[in-house]
Amino acid sequence: MSIVVTGASGQLGRLTVEALLRRGVPAAGIVATGRDIARIKTFAERGVAVLQADFEDPQSLAAAFAGADKLLLISTTSVDERVANHHRAIDAAVAAGVSLVAYTSMTHADTATTILASTHRATEEYLRERGVPSVLLRNSWYLENYTAQLPAAVQHGAFIGAAGEGRVSAASRVDYAEAAATVLTTEDRTGAVYELGGDEAFALAELAATTIADASR
């Protein structure tokens, strides 16, 4: 029996594999999957099973999920193709008899009105439609989306965004990876919905003021 992590070649997937190892999951009990396995070959060198899985190729998904106990389904990045990709992955998980699917959704996906939310809501609905035992990890924004902008923010004296006075509860990818690993390594999580984010929400104006003040010291 094993824990399969999709998108392990991406940042969140890679961090989740590392978190599982830190939590004592044997390397042989983890399957790291990705479309380009050359990017995750270092996991294979550490004893983690590395398998190719392409969301557009149902056969590769079936092979990667075979014998899996739990699956972390990390949402794919292409919004236009996301729902179809997720349907294929969920169908493969059902066929493999996976006992739990943990899905990285979006905060308040059931009520949010954005285009991004609609794709996550459709995936959550399909999990229920297929009767898959699941846990919803509704991740808020990645803090790294802002830290990556720090050089430009300091240069121009502002963060550019369309949030207005809206407040963001961001957390780091490491935090979200730890949450996913915790869910995958503890019992009785089926049916749980976790709205995940940072300890304190902030507006972009507050982030800009703090960043520029720090940079001027």
The mean pLDDT value for 28-43 works out to 96
Q: How many CB atoms lie within 10 A of CB 19?
A: 21
pLDDT tier for residue 11 given thresholds of 50, 70 and 90 = very high
Q: Do residues 65 and 71 lie in contact, with contact meaning Cβ atoms separated by under 8 Å? A: yes
Percent pLDDT > 90 in the chain is 74
Whole-number percent of the chain with pLDDT over 70: 96
What was the pLDDT predicted at 112? 93
In this prediction, residue 146 carries a pLDDT of: 81
* Cβ–Cβ < 8 Å for 96, 130: no
Would you give the DSSP letter of residue 142? B
Q: Which pLDDT belongs to residue 215?
A: 55
pLDDT above 80 for 155: no
In the chain, which ranges are continuous DSSP H helix? 11-22, 41-45, 58-65, 79-96, 115-129, 144-147, 150-156, 173-185, 204-215
Among 89, 87, 85, residue whose Cα is nearest residue 77: 85
Mean pLDDT of 37-55: 96
Interacting residues of 124 by C-beta distance below 8 A, sequence separation 6+: 103, 105, 109, 110, 136
**Which tens digit of pLDDT belongs to each residue from 134-145?**
999 999 999 898
Q: Is the pLDDT of residue 21 over 90?
A: yes
Q: How sure is the predictor about 213, in pLDDT bands with cuts at 50, 70 and 90?
A: low
Mean pLDDT over 108-127 rounds to 95
pLDDT of residue 38: 94
Topology classification of domain 2-139+173-196 = Rossmann fold (3.40.50)
What's the average model confidence in pLDDT over 198-208? 84
Q: Where do the structural domains in the chain lie, given as residue ranges?
A: 2-139+173-196
